[in-house]
Structures are given as C-alpha cells and as structure tokens.
Amino acid sequence: MHAMGWRLRTGAHLLAADACAAAVVTAGYAALAGQDASDGLPRFTGPWWLGWLVAFGVGGPLAVRRLWPLPALAVILGASATATLLDITRDPYVSAALALYTVALLEPVRRASAALVPALAVPAAAVLAGEAALTPSGPWPEAAGTAALVWLVSGAAWAAGRTARERRARAARRERRRAEEALAEERLRIARELHDIVSHSLSVIVVKASVANHVAEQRPQETRDSLRAIEQTGREALTEMRRALGVLRGEPAGQGVRESGPARPAPPPGLADLPPLVRRAERAGIRTELRTRLAVDLPAGTALAVYRIVQEALTNVVKHAGDGTHCRVTVTADSREDVRIEVVDDGAGPPAASGRAELGGGHGLVGMRERVMMYGGTLAVGPRPGGGFAVSARLPPEPAHATATGREERTA
C-alpha cells in the first residue's frame, strides 16, 4: 500500500501516459477484431462483444501496470494468448512487452526473473499453437520465426527494465552516500565549532581559577581580579554558545534576544573580534601583541577561519605556556597573496611549554588542520629554535572548494 501511494504521488504523469497507451491498444485490438481477411491472414469470426472483451484484456491493464505490475502482466499475457488463438493478434506482443518492462523496473530481481519465464513461454506456445496448428497461416518455420520475434521484443523490454532499475539503484546509493558524508561533515563541523568555543574559554577560566586559589589569602585584590576575569570569560562563552545553539535550532535572529537577555545574537566572529580575543588571553596572564595588516576585506567564511585558528593557537598558549608568556599574533592579507596567520610565543611562563609535545594529537590542532585543509592552505606547528612555540598558517583568499565558504558562514 505504501509503495502504491508513493508511485501514485510521484508518477501521476506516468499514470496518465499509461492510461492513454491502454486506450490506444484497446482501440487497436478492437479494430483488429472487426478486420476482414484482406491481409491474407485468418480473421476473427466470434461475436463483437468477445472481441471487445479480449481487446480490453490486452490493453486495459496497461493503465495500472505501475500500481500492480505482476497482476497486470498476468492479465495481459492471458488476454494476448487468447487474442492469438482467436486470430486477432497482428503485433509481436507489444502490450505484454510494456508490462514486462514495468515488472523488471519495479519488482525485485527474483520476482522479475520468475516473471520472465511465463512471459516468454505463454506467447511462444500461443503463437505456435495458433499459427501452425489451429488456423495455420504458414509453415512451422514461419510460426517459429514469429515466436522468436516475440521473444526478442519481450527480452529486450525486460533487459531495458532491469537496466533502468540498476541505474536508479546506483543513483540512490550515490545520493545516500552523499547524504551520509554530508551528515558526517556536519557533525565534524559542529564538534569543531563547539570545541573552539568551549576550549578557549574554559582554558582561561581554569588558569584564572588556579591563580585565585593560590593567592586567595596573600593577595585578595588579585583574587578578585581573577574572579572578575572568570565571570567575564564565562559570560562571553555563554554568548557564543547561545549563538551556536540558536543556529543549530534554526531560531530567527530576534527570538534569541528575549530568551538570552544580554547575550544577543551576533554576526559570525571575524577579524574585528580579534582584539577582544586577545584581551581574553591577557586576562589569563598572557602578554599578547596583535598586529593586523589587511589591504582587502576577507569573505565571512575566511574571516571566521582566521578567527578560529587564532583562537585555538591562543588557547594552546594559555594551556601550555603559562602565566607571563609573551605572545605575538600577526594577521596579514593583501589582494595578491594568501592570508597569513602567525601566533608565536616565547614560552617564558612557569610551565615552560611542558605540554607542547602532546599538541599533535589534540582535538584543537586537528580542527585547525581541518580548517586549513578545507581552504587548500598550509599549516606549520612546532617549537621555535630559541624557545617557545609557533603556529603559522596560510589560507587562500577564497576556499579551495566552492562550498567551503557557505559551510563556514552557516557554522557561524
């Protein structure tokens, strides 16, 4: 029932074409039933109503062959064999071939293969019995040639139906594979965005909480400063999280204002948001210097990628370099060259870059590489000869694939 409803909803024009074909075939066979013997072949001598009944049996089921393929084929085969025995048939079982094509197209392989056997056997038996035995119109070899022609037409129709079914199945598999790849890519993109939002803010919060815990009794003013930094960083993280969740829920821009209060929906973070990002790292004790030289306006997707790369690099500095580290962030772009991002620190903090060896397998660096690869750029990450750590990335002004910009903009 579900399959019938699907065919009826999506193939109304095909059903209309089948109805027209059924009318034409029925009228043609009715005309053949009333034809005289001027062509030299035996003619139908039965009552007119029988001729019309047989004609409707041959042509009528074509109107519903897409709804009930096997019953339609069975009725057409029986009516066509009867028409042959009654000397009405003058065609190589075209109606049966059309029904057999539909069976091969819509039915599973086993059923379609099983239906091919009677579709070949019944016409051959009817042609041989009618033309060579009951009302001979020529020698046996001529009847066998007619049967072979019927087999050729029916076999070609069945093969065409199977070919069309396989082609549709391959197309469906390709679409399903594309949908699965798109789903996996969407999950990866969401995971990357959430990591970038949460990891940076939590790193700052953890660092400042650790400072507050150590100096709570000796330096209460510094403790209060750390708590204020934690509060501000948490609010900023909530703002970004609400914005990301609003995009995932598909909320309109104005709806989040009422629900989130001060955390109003904002446009995607970009180059203009780098100074607040730097100040957030400074609240964590990293002495950060920002240098930007931009001769052109970058697309929103590229600007977002630059922001996320800088954000992850600063997160690693906060987590691994320690308080008092000096960090320099440089972003340059002009109309002829790639966008260049450099985040360099001297590793002067107390931890002395003790955790940098673990960066190769971290989720943040993986996400950074994914963003760079999506744009067809390059990424270099590693310790500096004189101490400290460096992250260097180059991005083309436009993504390597046409869909990359759209994905980044939707992410924001």
CATH number at residue 306: 3.30.565.10
Across the range 97-101, mean pLDDT stands at 92
Which of the listed residues 178, 209, 235 is the one where a domain comes to its end?
Answer: 178
Query: Do 196 and 312 touch, CB atoms closer than 8 A?
Result: yes
Structure-token match 């009405």, residue found: 88
What is the token pair recorded at 134? 């009951």
Cβ 205 vs Cβ 226: under 8 Å: no
Q: Would residue 192 count as lying in a domain?
A: no
- Whole-angstrom Cα distance, residue 225 to residue 248? 35
Task: Specify the pLDDT at position 181.
Answer: 85
178, 199, 225 - which closes a domain: 178
Quick one: 158 and 287 in the same domain?
no
Residue 242 lies in a domain: no
Residue 217 lies in a domain: no
In this structure, are 286 and 148 located in the same domain?
A: no
Determine, yes or no, domain membership for 213. Answer: no
Max avg pLDDT among 253-257, 340-344, 372-376 = 340-344
Which structure tokens are listed for 67? 């709804």
Domain end point (choices 144, 178, 212)? 178
Q: Is residue 111 part of a domain?
A: yes
Rounded Cα distance, 273 and 266, in Å: 11
Bridge pairing between strands 287-294 and 326-333? parallel
399 and 282 in one domain? yes
Share of the chain above pLDDT 70, in %: 75
Residue 258 has pLDDT above 50, yes or no: no
Q: Give the model confidence (pLDDT) of 325-339 as tens digits.
A: 899 999 998 766 788
Let me know whether 40 and 162 are in one domain. Answer: yes
Distance CA 165, CA 204 (A): 59
81-85, 153-157, 216-220: segment of lowest average pLDDT: 216-220
| C-alpha span between 228 and 401 (Å, rounded) | 43
Residue 199 in any domain: the answer is: no
pLDDT higher than 90, residue 72: yes
Domains: count for the chain: 2
**Encoded tokens for 116:** 């091919």
Question: Does residue 198 form part of some domain?
Answer: no
* pLDDT tens digits, 220-250: 777 777 777 777 777 777 777 776 666 566 5
- Kindly report, residue by residue over 149-207, the tens digit of the pLDDT: 888 999 899 999 999 999 998 998 999 898 888 878 777 777 777 766 676 677 677 77
Q: Which of 90-94, 102-106, 110-114, 318-322 has the lowest mean pLDDT?
A: 318-322
For residue 96, give both structure tokens.
């049966």
Domain of residue 19: give its range: 2-178
Indicate if the pLDDT at residue 408 is higher than 50: no
Give the number of other Cβ atoms within 10 Å of residue 263's Cβ. Answer: 19
Q: Is residue 36 very low, low, confident or very high in pLDDT (cuts 50, 70, 90)?
A: low
Is the same domain home to 30 and 173? yes
In a domain, 408, yes or no: yes
Q: Is the dihedral of CA 36, 37, 41, 46 positive or negative?
A: positive
φ, ψ for residue 163, nearest 5 deg:
-65, -45
339 in helix, strand or coil?
A: strand
**Residue 71: pLDDT band by 50, 70, 90 thresholds?**
very high
- In sequence order, the 6+-apart residues with CB closer than 8 A to the CB of 182 are none
Q: Does residue 277 share a domain with residue 150?
A: no
Do the beta carbons of residue 329 and residue 275 sit within 8 Å? no
Kindly report the average pLDDT of the chain as a whole number. 77
Q: Which residue has the higher pLDDT, 348 or 63?
A: 63
Is the same domain home to 296 and 408? yes
Q: In the numeric block, which tokens belong to residue 381?
A: 């990450």
* pLDDT score, position 251: 56
